Amino acid sequence: MTLTLRYILFCSVILTMACREKKRYNLPRALTPEEINEYFPRSEPLVISPFETAMQEQGLLDLQELDPEIRVELKYSSTDNFLERDLYGTLELAYLQPEPARALVKAGRMLRRDNPHLRLLIYDAARPLRVQHLLWEKLDSLPEEERKKYVADPEETSIHNYGCAVDLTLFDLETGQPVDMGTSFDYFGELAYPRLERQMLNEGKLSLKQLNNRILLRSVLRDVGFTPITTEWWHFNFYSRRTAELKYGIIE
């Protein structure tokens, strides 16, 4: 073998090894937390909320773990609420006590059976008492009896504080939006009152479609044991406050 040929072979080996080394150590970059959440939306948050820890320790259940078809958009875990303030921090999951949680899963399945394009969308579920205080204090410009139409007095507690109440709406997969209920969540006014819906319809403030959407939501929730209230179309209780107090401890 000539010297030139040996030199060519030697250079080829060196070049091949260099390419292999480059390939060996050219590893993909690490994913950012945002990218991890995009690929694995049900992965555990980097920091577990103390609220979530307290709920788990008291036996409350994660609704999306029971049924991934349930959608969750906690309004108090964002600034999209009447306080314009994030109250829940890293808490992104909706929790309820076992009985109401399983009932809500049943409601979601019934809804999908008859309306395949619709899903339940949770705005709030179990709510710590310290958050209840913040909501109550924010409405201090209203007389006490008027305030109670919208937020329970923390001294009397809310059924949310026991993990037995839920705020929710319907989500339309075809439009990618919540269905039109006539008002937004946490709307403070008579247009949100179920007890005044006939009047609002007659006055042209509520459309028939909006009313039918509310009726559908109420029908599905009632069929599994939840009861609506007279001043918020989005709020449903599974137990009375007294029953919730007797069965469960308060979520601090």
Smallest CA-to-CA distance from 97 within 252, 244, 246 is with 244
Residue 151, pLDDT score: 87
Residue 33, pLDDT score: 46
Distance from C-alpha of 221 to C-alpha of 97, rounded to nearest angstrom: 16
Distance from C-alpha of 215 to C-alpha of 109, rounded to nearest angstrom: 17
Cα atoms in the 13 Å half-sphere on the side-chain side of 31: 8
Residue 84 has φ and ψ, to the nearest 5°, of 55, 45
Residue 200, pLDDT score: 97
Residue 25, pLDDT score: 36
- 3-state SS, residue 108: helix
What does each of the 252 residues of the chain score in pLDDT, given as a tens digit? 554 555 455 555 455 554 444 333 344 455 544 454 555 555 455 578 888 998 999 999 999 999 999 999 999 999 999 888 899 988 999 999 999 999 999 999 999 999 999 999 999 999 999 999 988 888 888 888 888 878 888 888 999 999 999 999 999 999 999 999 999 999 999 999 999 999 999 999 999 999 999 999 999 999 999 999 999 999 999 999 999 999 999 998
Residue 22, pLDDT score: 39
Rounded to a whole number, what is the distance in angstroms from the first to the last CA of the chain? 84
Residues pairing with 118 in the sheet? 172
- 3-state SS, residue 71: strand
Smallest CA-to-CA distance from 221 within 150, 172, 171, 166 is with 166
- 3-state SS, residue 237: strand
Distance from C-alpha of 128 to C-alpha of 163, rounded to nearest angstrom: 9
Element (H, E) at 228: strand 227-228
Residue 237 corresponds to which amino acid? N
Residue 23, pLDDT score: 39
Residue 177, pLDDT score: 97
- Non-local (6+) Cβ contacts of 75 within 8 A are 81, 123, 124, 167, 185, 186
Residue 172 has φ and ψ, to the nearest 5°, of -100, 115
- Non-local (6+) Cβ contacts of 132 within 8 A are 151, 152, 154, 157, 158, 160, 161
What are the structural domains, with CATH classification, of the chain? 33-247 (3.30.1380.10)
Distance from C-alpha of 58 to C-alpha of 37, rounded to nearest angstrom: 27
